[in-house]
Amino acid sequence: MTFPVQGPMRLDDAIESLFGRGARITASRPIGGGCINDARRLEVSTGDALFVKSNRASLTGLFEEEARGLAELACEGGPRVPAVHGVITDGDRQLILLEFIERGSKGRGFFADFASRLATLHRSRRAERAGFAGDNHIGASPQANGWRETWASFFGEQRILFQVSLAERKGIADAVLRRSAERLVARLPDLLPEPDGGFHLMHGDLWGGNYMVDSAGGAVLIDPAVAYGHREADIAMTELFGGFSRDFYAAYRESWPLDGGYDDRRDIYNLYHLLNHANLFGGSYLSSCRAILRRYQ
């Protein structure tokens, strides 16, 4: 995958390559909201602006993964996705250069339109197997995306057990958690339906902090953790921490109804995210994971 600028390159040279000889950065201001990367708005002498995130260059592939995910999510009729202008390494930093999108406010029909567009994305982007063409990250955690023939095997191995293994390495998971997780994974072929007509592209980390509203009042997807799987896992994630209205769920189901029994599966999907939060933040998240595992034993 290629972008207008990529590879080892000084940021100043990247700006000239994008906006023309003599273009330079005239202002740089931090933008809040992230806990992993430094995020800034760069203003350019041409009047253009960029959204730039940076992190240590030693975190190899971090922004290439994000760029690949954003490109995969872009589809006609789907939610807006920021354009990627480049991924560069400048000394000991890696940077991703993105379209700067001015923020707006939600209008009356925002959530209904967002849901309809998300259903379009899920319907339009399919694969024959579950997984993705490369591992990526979910927040600061690695995310395994090796291809699997079934949704149950992918979700069990690459989501639940992968996170349990991370928790064991961090010393926060015991043998009881491991056994409970393995019992649940053994039951997944009976608990999780296989998607019809191929596996759907999932944003993968669709909580209220990973969408924004543009100046036209439309939804914009950001910070993806993409893979192909079952679309209902995306919907489950939206319910975990809130931030989506009843109109969102009504409009999504009107666009594309969910399979029966979804409410019984929602917590299985969200176990993955709770395990990830336990690995990142500890605390009560591990107790929530244990409670869900007990429910499905």
* Residues noted as catalytic: 205
Cα dihedral 230, 293, 272, 250, rounded to 10, equals 50
Per the CB < 8 A criterion, the answer to whether 200 and 169 are in contact is no
Maximum C-alpha span of the chain:
65
Q: Nearest Cα to 98, choosing from 125, 75, 69, 122?
A: 69
